[in-house]
Amino acid sequence: MLPPKGTVRNMEPDLMKPLRTLLLGTIAASPLAGCPVLAGNALDPQTVENLQTAMHGEAFANLKYLAYSEFARRNDNPELAALFAENANVEANEHFDREADALGLVAGNEADLLDAMAGEHYENTVMYVRFADEAAAAGDMKVADMFRQIAADEGDHYASYKAALDKLKAAE
């Protein structure tokens, strides 16, 4: 069942606000500070928001279609599996890539590591913790445990990105 129309879009700013605050603070001290897209010099803020929303949709569609493809393959429907896989590829390697390029998503190794660290830190310390608490309060203990495990994974991701950043800076 889908959430009521507008629910996901309306939730995103509240969910993403801490990440954006952390990320923008990180960007101010990083090579991204001069990026015209992020500095607001090249694209209208609504265009940036629309690109980000579109990219989230394309990424989700890619992974969803891959899951559908795998299910069809396991259930002896190779034609349907190939259809889903083909469209998953278009979502990621055409649509998402073009939107990411328009946004200026990739900014360089250091900036990309800082961005990745900000996202993983937020997921590890805020998002999945809140999700776990809410699932537990609703009695969905298996999902709460899953969210806690994923939060720990996100902490590991943060640490690996931090180590890569430290190594990158040491090599300078």
What is the pLDDT, as a whole number, of residue 1? 35
What is the pLDDT, as a whole number, of residue 42? 84
Q: pLDDT by residue (tens digit) across 124-155?
A: 999 999 999 999 999 999 999 999 999 999 99
What is the pLDDT, as a whole number, of residue 27? 39
Q: Please give the model's pTM, rounded to 2 decimal places.
A: 0.72
What is the pLDDT, as a whole number, of residue 88? 98
Distance of alpha carbon 105 from alpha carbon 56, whole angstroms: 13
**Would you list the DSSP string of 88-122?**
HHHIIIIIIHHHHHHHT----HHHHHHHHHHHHHH
Q: pLDDT by residue (tens digit) across 100-119?
A: 999 999 999 999 999 999 99
Which of the four CATH numbers 1.10.10.10, 1.10.8.350, 3.30.110.40, 1.20.1260.10 does domain 107-166 have? 1.20.1260.10
Q: pLDDT by residue (tens digit) across 38-81?
A: 444 589 999 999 999 999 999 999 999 999 999 999 999 999 99
Matching fold, domains 42-105 and 107-166: yes
Q: pLDDT by residue (tens digit) across 1-43?
A: 333 333 333 333 344 444 444 444 433 333 333 343 444 458 9
The ranges assigned to domains in the chain are: 42-105, 107-166
Assess whether pLDDT exceeds 70 at residue 122: yes
**Cα→Cα distances 140→10, 11, 32, 80, 147, Å:** 24, 21, 40, 33, 11
In this structure, CATH architecture of domain 42-105: Up-down Bundle (1.20)
What is the pLDDT, as a whole number, of residue 22? 41
Distance of alpha carbon 140 from alpha carbon 143, whole angstroms: 6
At residue 15, what is the residue type?
A: L
- Of 11, 25, 2, nearest in space to 130 by CA: 11
What is the pLDDT, as a whole number, of residue 86? 98
